C-alpha cells in the first residue's frame, strides 16, 4: 500500500467525465468500506454518487446506523462535524473540500455566544430562565456550549418541537444563528413578533433595552442565510399573477414575509416530498437553493408539474458547490491509497458535550 498522500494538484485540471469514471471505479474498489452521504443542495455531478441523500436531520439520523469505516460527506463543514460526533469510534468522516463551510454558521461564534449569554443572564438577575438553542447550522463548539448550558440543537424539520420542549423547561430562548428560522417557528407557535426581538451580538446589550430583554420570549440572533435572503415578496406576487392556481413553497431560512406569503414552509426534505406527492400538472414556486430546485424541476417534467425557482438571480450555495467531482475523486483515491485526507474530527470533550444536545434533539424530535 502506498502511504504517500496524493496531492490535489493531480486532480485540479481533470475533466468532469474523467472524474466520474474514477469516482465509480473508486467506489467499486472500496465497496462496503465507504458510504457517501449527500445533502439535497449538492450539484448533480456529485449528488449522483450519494448512497444516501436527505436533509440535515435525515442525514444525522442515518449516521447512527452506519457500519462503513469511512463516511464521505457531500455537504458543508457543520454537517460533517455532526456525522463525526454521531458516528462510532473508529469510523472516519471525510469532507472532500475543507473550505465547504456555511456562511450562516459563521455568523455566530463561541466568544460572541458566551458573551451574549452572560449579558442576558446579568439583565435577568441570573434567574436561570433562558435556554440556548442552536440551529444545526453551527460549529460543534456552539453545540457543546448548548450541551453545557441545558440547551439543545434544532433543524429546520424539528424547530417547533424543539422550541416547545425549551418552553417546557424555561421561560425564554436564545436562538442562534438564524433569525429567520427562529422568527418563523415562533410565529407559527403564536408568539407575537415584539416578543422575539433581534439580538445583535456586536452591540451592547444586543442593541436592546433591559425591558425588551425582560419581556422577550425568544431572542433572535442577528444571523441569516445569504442564499435564502435573496427571495422576495415581489417574486411571489409575480408568480401568483402568472399562475393564480399555483402553489408557493419555501424553506424557513427565507425572510419572514416570504414565509408568511407561502402556502407551505418546511425543510428541504419537506419541500421535495410535498412537490413529489402533489397532483400531476400542479405549478410550484420554490424558495430554496438552486441545485435542489433544478433537479426537482427535471424529475417532475414527466408528471407535467411546473417547478420554478423563486429568484431571478442565481442563488446557489457557493460553499456547498465547492464539493466537486475533482475533490470527490481525490478523496476517494486517497482512501484507497490508505491515506485519507480532509478528515473531520471534533475534539473529544467538545464532541461529548455536542453529542448530549444532538441526542436530546433526536429524542425530542
Cα separation, 196 vs 173, whole angstroms: 9
Q: Which of 80, 11, 23 is nearest to 343 (CA)?
A: 80
Rounded (5°) CA angle 347-332-27: 125
Query: Under rule CB under 6 A, which residues in 146-175 are in contact with ligand 13P?
Result: 155-156
> How far is CA 93 from each of CA 70, 112, 269, rounded to the nearest angstrom?
6, 28, 23
Q: Which of 83, 104, 163, 271 is the binder for ligand SF4 (CB under 6 A)?
A: 104
**Smallest distance from ligand 13P to CB 157, Å:** 6
Query: Under rule CB under 6 A, which residues in 4-33 are in contact with ligand 13P?
Result: none
Of 253 and 324, which CB lies nearer to ligand SF4 in the complex structure?
253
Whether residue 8 has a cis bond before it, omega within 30° of 0? no
The residue written with cell numbers 393564480 in the block is: 244
Cα separation, 258 vs 156, whole angstroms: 16
DSSP H/E element including 330: helix 325-336
Binding residue per annotation — 251? Answer: yes
- With CB under 5 to 8 Å by kind, the binding choice for 320 among ligand SF4, ligand 13P, none is ligand SF4
Query: Under rule CB under 6 A, which residues in 137-166 are in contact with ligand SF4?
Result: 137
Collapse the DSSP code of 135 into the 3-class scheme (helix H, G, I; strand E, B; otherwise coil) and give the result: strand
- Residue 227 near ligand SF4 by CB under 6 A: yes
Query: Under rule CB under 6 A, which residues in 327-356 are in contact with ligand 13P?
Result: none
Residue 346 has what DSSP assignment? -
- With CB under 5 to 8 Å by kind, the binding choice for 267 among ligand 13P, ligand SF4, none is ligand 13P
- With CB under 5 to 8 Å by kind, the binding choice for 155 among ligand 13P, ligand SF4, none is ligand 13P
C-alpha cell at 184: 418563523
- Residue 46 near ligand SF4 by CB under 6 A: no
Is the distance from CB of 362 to CB of 43 less than 8 angstroms? no
Burial (CB count <10 Å: 0-12, 13-18, 19+), residue 322: middle
- Residue 100 near ligand SF4 by CB under 6 A: no
Is the distance from CB of 34 to CB of 72 less than 8 angstroms? yes
- Residue 269 near ligand SF4 by CB under 6 A: no
For ligand 13P (CB under 6 A), the number of binding residues is 11
Q: Which of 50, 53, 95, 102 is the binder for ligand SF4 (CB under 6 A)?
A: 102
Binding residue per annotation — 252? Answer: yes
- With CB under 5 to 8 Å by kind, the binding choice for 113 among ligand 13P, ligand SF4, none is none
- With CB under 5 to 8 Å by kind, the binding choice for 156 among ligand SF4, ligand 13P, none is ligand 13P
Q: Which of 268, 326, 331, 334 is the binder for ligand 13P (CB under 6 A)?
A: 268
Residue 343 has what DSSP assignment? B
Residues near ligand SF4 (CB under 6 A)? 76, 102-104, 137, 225, 227, 253, 289, 317, 319-320
Amino acid at each position: 500500500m502506498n502511504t504517500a498522500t496524493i496531492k490535489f494538484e493531480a486532480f485540479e485540471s481533470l475533466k468532469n467525465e474523467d472524474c466520474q469514471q474514477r469516482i465509480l471505479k473508486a467506489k467499486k474498489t472500496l465497496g462496503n468500506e465507504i458510504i457517501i452521504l449527500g445533502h439535497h443542495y449538492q450539484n448533480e455531478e456529485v449528488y449522483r454518487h450519494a448512497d444516501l441523500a436527505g436533509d440535515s436531520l435525515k442525514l444525522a439520523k442515518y449516521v447512527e446506523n452506519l457500519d462503513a469505516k469511512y463516511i464521505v460527506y457531500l455537504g458543508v463543514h457543520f454537517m460533517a462535524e455532526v456525522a463525526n460526533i454521531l458516528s462510532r469510534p473508529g469510523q472516519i468522516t471525510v469532507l472532500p473540500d475543507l473550505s465547504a463551510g456555511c456562511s450562516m454558521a459563521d455568523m455566530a461564534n463561541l466568544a460572541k455566544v458566551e458573551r451574549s449569554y452572560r449579558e442576558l443572564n446579568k439583565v435577568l438577575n441570573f434567574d436561570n430562565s433562558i435556554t440556548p438553542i442552536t440551529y444545526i447550522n453551527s460549529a460543534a463548539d456552539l453545540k457543546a456550549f448548548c450541551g453545557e448550558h441545558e440547551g439543545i440543537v434544532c433543524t429546520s424539520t424539528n424547530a417547533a418541537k424543539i422550541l416547545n420542549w425549551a418552553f417546557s423547561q424555561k421561560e425564554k430562548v436564545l436562538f442562534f444563528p438564524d433569525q429567520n428560522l427562529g422568527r418563523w417557528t415562533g410565529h407559527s407557535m403564536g408568539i407575537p413578533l415584539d416578543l422575539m426581538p433581534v439580538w445583535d451580538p456586536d452591540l451592547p446589550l444586543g442593541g436592546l433595552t433591559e425591558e425588551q430583554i425582560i419581556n422577550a420570549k425568544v431572542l433572535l440572533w442577528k444571523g441569516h442565510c445569504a442564499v435564502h435572503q435573496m427571495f422576495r415578496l415581489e417574486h411571489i406576487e409575480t408568480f401568483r399573477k402568472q399562475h393564480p392556481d399555483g402553489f408557493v413553497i419555501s424553506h424557513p431560512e427565507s425572510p419572514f414575509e416570504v414565509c408568511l406569503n407561502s402556502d407551505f414552509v418546511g425543510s428541504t426534505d419537506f419541500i421535495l416530498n410535498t412537490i413529489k406527492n402533489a397532483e400531476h400538472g400542479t405549478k410550484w414556486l420554490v424558495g430554496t437553493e438552486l441545485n435542489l430546485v433544478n433537479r426537482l424541476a427535471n424529475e417532475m417534467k414527466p408528471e407535467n408539474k411546473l417547478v420554478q425557482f423563486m429568484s431571478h438571480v442565481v442563488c446557489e450555495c457557493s460553499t456547498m458547490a465547492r464539493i466537486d467531482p475533482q475533490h470527490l475523486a481525490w478523496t476517494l483515491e486517497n482512501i484507497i491509497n490508505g491515506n485519507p485526507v480532509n478528515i473531520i474530527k471534533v475534539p473529544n470533550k467538545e464532541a461529548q458535550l455536542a453529542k448530549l444536545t444532538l441526542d436530546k434533539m433526536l429524542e425530542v424530535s
